[in-house]
Amino acid sequence: MTKVQFFGSGLSGFREKTLPGRLIVLEGTDGVGRSTQIGLLKNWLESSGFAVLDTGLTRSLLAGRGLKKAKEGHTLGAKTMDLFYATDLADRLENQMIPALRAGFVVLTDRYVYSLMARAIVRGASADWIQSVYGFALKPDAVFYLKIDLPNLIPRVLTSTGFDYWESGMDFLPGDDMYDCFVQYQTRLLATFDQLARQYAFDTVDATQTVNKVFSVLQRKIRKALPKSAPLVDAPRIFVTPLDHAAAEEADIEGRREEFAAAATQASGLGAKSTKGKAPDRQANNAREA
Ligand SMILES: Nc1ncnc2c1ncn2[C@@H]1O[C@H](COP(=O)(O)OP(=O)(O)OP(=O)(O)O)[C@@H](O)[C@H]1O
Ligand SMILES: [Mg+2]
């Protein structure tokens, strides 16, 4: 049961005091491993019989496409972008997340108000202002903060998508060097996340650990946020597609489990992917939302 509490005055016309679902947030900086964990958690929860909604930034019908176009075209100022992201969240809350919570779903959200606050604050918005903007948002049942440091983050980003214009703060930082901007921006962002972690009492998870270790820590913590009666299956050590189970068994018998696990992790997108190589041009930024 989610106790309905808002950060501020809440959504107008909202009357319920409780909702049967659970609102679970995964927070953390760009490239830390949120999507990887959401994929694993969704699979585990669904295997255990829970209905799961996974959602994330720019996935609203109302504002998702507009936000992506605004990012491609660099057409909006920082404050307007902040409000556009708030619109995206408000629409998803009203039309996706709250209906799912009402129907008893576990809602897993890849980022929530905190990333949006952190991004706004490092771009110069006042913390009071951006926090008051999110007065309409529902307080989640749990916030897991995937914490990483810059030396661990850089290779993780380099071996996956490569540096991104927005994730390097190139929309507001001076200078044309994407690596320098990434270092500066992410240093400020990580410091802001740490402040928010204290202020909002995030449950911090050491994201420098392996995928499987982070996953098992999250499983243990999420169990506590779920109904006691819920039967939870033991998730596989690695995420494999159903068709792979026979091959996994065969590899096990032949004593090639480790080798198979590495290959399956790679194939399922959990391993390091090859970098796109070239950093995108400063003007032609990568509009992928993350
Ligand atoms: N614990 C981990 N250890 C090492 N590599 C990891 C770990 N978790 C994820 N990765 C790898 O890091 C890269 C980024 O992971 P992922 O896409 O899940 O991050 P993200 O936080 O969703 O990123 P984005 O901010 O771009 O959406 C991927 O190549 C993934 O395989
Ligand atoms: Mg992601």
CATH classification at residue 150:
3.40.50.300
Is 134 part of a structural domain of the chain? yes
Three-state DSSP at 218 gives: helix
Q: Which burial class, exposed, middle or buried, applies to 21 when counting CB atoms under 10 A from its CB (0-12, 13-18, 19+)?
A: buried
The tokens 């972008």 sit on which residue? 81
Q: What's the domain count of the chain? A: 1
Contacts (Cβ under 8 Å, ≥6 apart) of 33: 146, 148, 156, 207, 211, 214
Q: How far is the CA of 160 from the centre of ligand 1 (A)?
A: 7
Pairing of strands 106-110, 22-28: parallel
Q: Which atom of ligand 1 is nearest to the CA of 271?
A: 31
Kindly report the protein residue whose alpha carbon is nearest to atom 9 of ligand 1: 33
Per-residue model confidence as pLDDT tens digits over 183-237: 999 999 999 999 999 999 999 999 999 999 999 999 999 999 897 766 666 655 5
Per-residue model confidence as pLDDT tens digits over 40-87: 999 999 999 999 999 999 999 999 999 999 999 888 999 999 999 999
Is 261 part of a structural domain of the chain? no
Distance CA 105, CA 97 (A): 9
Helices 244-253 & 257-267, crossing angle to 10 degrees?
160
- For residue 248, pLDDT beyond 90: no
Is 287 part of a structural domain of the chain? no
- For residue 283, pLDDT beyond 70: no
Tell me if the pTM is above 0.85. Answer: no
Which residues are near ligand 1 (CB < 6 Å)? 30-36, 156, 160-161, 210-211, 214, 270-273, 290
Residues 216, 217, 220, 224: is their CA dihedral positive or negative?
negative
Ligand (nearest to CA of 212): 1
3-state helix, strand, coil in the chain (%, to 5): 50, 10, 40
Is 120 part of a structural domain of the chain? yes
Mutate to test the pocket of ligand 1, among 160, 168, 275 (most ligand atoms within 8 A of CB): 160
Is 251 part of a structural domain of the chain? no
Three-state DSSP at 14 gives: coil
Distance CA 159, CA 276 (A): 8
Kindly report the protein residue whose alpha carbon is nearest to atom 3 of ligand 1: 210
Is 273 part of a structural domain of the chain? no
CA torsion angle for 275, 279, 283, 288 (degrees, to 10)?
A: 20
Q: Which atom of ligand 1 is nearest to the CA of 32?
A: 21
- CB atoms closer than 10 angstroms to residue 244: 18
Kindly report the protein residue whose alpha carbon is nearest to atom 16 of ligand 1: 33
- Specify the length of the chain in residues: 290
Per-residue model confidence as pLDDT tens digits over 76-129: 999 999 999 999 999 999 999 999 999 999 999 999 999 999 999 999 999 999
Distance CA 228, CA 220 (A): 13
pLDDT at 233: 66
Helices 113-122 & 178-199, crossing angle to 10 degrees?
130
Is 223 part of a structural domain of the chain? yes
The mean pLDDT value for 257-262 works out to 52
Domain extent, residue 50, equals 20-238
Residue 112 in contact with residue 27, Cβ under 8 Å? yes
Q: What residues pair up with 106 in beta bridges, in sequence order?
A: 22, 52
Distance of CA 220 to the CA centre of its chain: 18
Kindly report the protein residue whose alpha carbon is nearest to atom 25 of ligand 1: 30
Kindly report the protein residue whose alpha carbon is nearest to atom 30 of ligand 1: 270
Distance CA 110, CA 95 (A): 17
- CB atoms closer than 10 angstroms to residue 280: 17
- CB atoms closer than 10 angstroms to residue 162: 19
